[in-house]
Amino acid sequence: MEEYKWLKLKKSIKYAYNTSPFYHDLFKKNNLKPSDIKSFKDMNKIPFTTADDLQEKTKSFFSVPEDKFVTVFTSAGTTGKPKKAYFTKKDIDKIITSTITGLQLMYSITPRDVVRLSFEIGYGAEISGSRYCMNKAYEGIGALTVAPSRLRVEEELEIFKDYKPTIFMDVSSRVNYLTNEMKKIYDLKKLGVKKILIGAEPTPNAMRKFIEESWNADVFIGYGTTETGVLQAGECEEKNGMHLNEFNFFTEVVDPATGEILEDGNLGEFIFTTYDREGMPLIRYRTRDLGRILPEMCPCGLPFKRMVIKGRVDDMISIGAGDNLYTRRFDDILFEIPEVIEYQVILNRKNIKDEITIVVETEIIKDSLRERILEAIMEMPEINSGVLSSKTIEKPEIKLVKPNTFDRNSTKQRRLIDNRNLYD
- Yes or no: say if 298 and 169 are a contact pair by the CB < 8 Å rule: no
CA dihedral 128, 134, 136, 141 (to 10 degrees): -170
* Residue 213 binds Zn ion (CB under 5 A): no
Tell me if 238 contacts Zn ion by CB under 5 A.
Answer: yes
Stretch 100-119: interaction string toward Zn ion, x if CB under 5 A: --------------------
- Window of 101-109, 160-168, 212-220, 291-299 that interacts with Zn ion by CB under 5 A: 291-299
We find the least distance from the C-beta atom of residue 250 to Zn ion, in angstroms, to be: 20
Query: Degrees (nearest 5) of the Cα angle 28, 34, 39?
Result: 130
- Max Cα separation, the chain? 66
Q: CB of 219 within 8 A of CB of 212?
A: yes
> Which among 283, 288, 257 has a CA at the least distance from the CA of 270?
288
Select the residue interacting with Zn ion from 117, 134, 143, 236 (CB under 5 A): 236
Q: How far apart are CA 13 and CA 21, in angstroms?
A: 13
Does residue 308 bind Zn ion (CB under 5 A)?
A: no
Name which of 238 and 371 has its Cβ closer to Zn ion.
Answer: 238
Least distance (Å) between residue 199 CB and Zn ion:
16
Query: Which is closer to Zn ion, CB of 114 or CB of 300?
Result: 300
CB of 244: closest distance to Zn ion in angstroms? 11
Smallest gap from residue 75 Cβ to Zn ion (A):
27
Which of 6-14, 234-242, 328-336, 356-364 is the region at the interface with Zn ion (rule: CB under 5 A)? 234-242
Buried b (16+ CB within 10 A) or exposed e, 329-345: bbbbbbbebeebbbbbb
Stretch that binds Zn ion, among 192-200, 209-217, 237-245, 252-260 (CB under 5 A): 237-245
Piece in contact with Zn ion (CB under 5 A), picked from 76-84, 167-175, 280-288, 298-306: 298-306
To Zn ion, the closest distance from the beta carbon of 300 in angstroms equals 3
Q: Is there a contact between 165 and 193 (Cβ–Cβ < 8 Å)?
A: yes
- Return the residue of 267, 300, 359, 374 that touches Zn ion, per CB under 5 A: 300
Only one of the segments 236-244, 288-296, 310-318, 356-364 lies at the binding site for Zn ion (rule: CB under 5 A); that segment is: 236-244
Q: Give the residue with the Cβ less far from Zn ion, 298 or 325.
A: 298
Q: Pick between residue 21 and residue 299 the one whose CB is nearest to Zn ion.
A: 299
Alpha-carbon span 234 to 199, nearest angstrom: 9
Amino acid code (one letter) for 235: E
E strand or H helix at 73, and its extent?
strand 69-75
The count of chain residues that interact with Zn ion, using the rule CB under 5 A, is: 5
CB 303 within 8 A of CB 320: no
Question: Which residue number, 239 or 329, has a Cβ lying nearer to Zn ion?
Answer: 239
Under rule CB under 5 A, residue 144 binds Zn ion: no
CA distance 155 to 361: 22
Pairing of strands 306-312, 316-319: unpaired
Distance CA 372, CA 415 (A): 20
Residue 151 CA to residue 203 CA, distance in Å, equals 22
Measured from the CB atom, the residue of 147 and 294 that comes closer to Zn ion is 294
Q: Which amino acid is at 277?
A: R
Q: Which is nearer to Zn ion, 220 or 343 (CB)?
A: 220
- Contact region for Zn ion (CB under 5 A) — 40-48, 149-157, 230-238, 410-418? 230-238
Q: Kindly state whether residue 244 participates in binding Zn ion, applying the rule CB under 5 A.
A: no
Count of Cβ atoms closer than 10 Å to residue 173 Cβ:
22
* Sole binder of Zn ion in the list 127, 298, 358, 373 (CB under 5 A): 298
Phi-psi region of 249 (alpha: psi -120 to 50; beta: other; left: phi over 0): beta
Toward Zn ion, which CB reaches closer, 223 or 285?
Answer: 223
Shorter beta-carbon distance to Zn ion: residue 102 or 386: 102
The nearest distance, CB 234 to Zn ion, in angstroms, is 10
Pick 267 or 300: Cβ nearer Zn ion: 300
**SS3 for 352-412, per residue?**
CEEEEEEEEECCCCCHHHHHHHHHHHHCCHHHHHHHHCCCCECCCEEEEECCCCCCCCCCC
Contact window for Zn ion (CB under 5 A) among 122-130, 295-303, 337-345, 374-382: 295-303
Pick the closer one to Zn ion by CB: 9 or 300.
Answer: 300
Interface residue list for Zn ion (CB under 5 A): 236, 238, 298, 300, 302
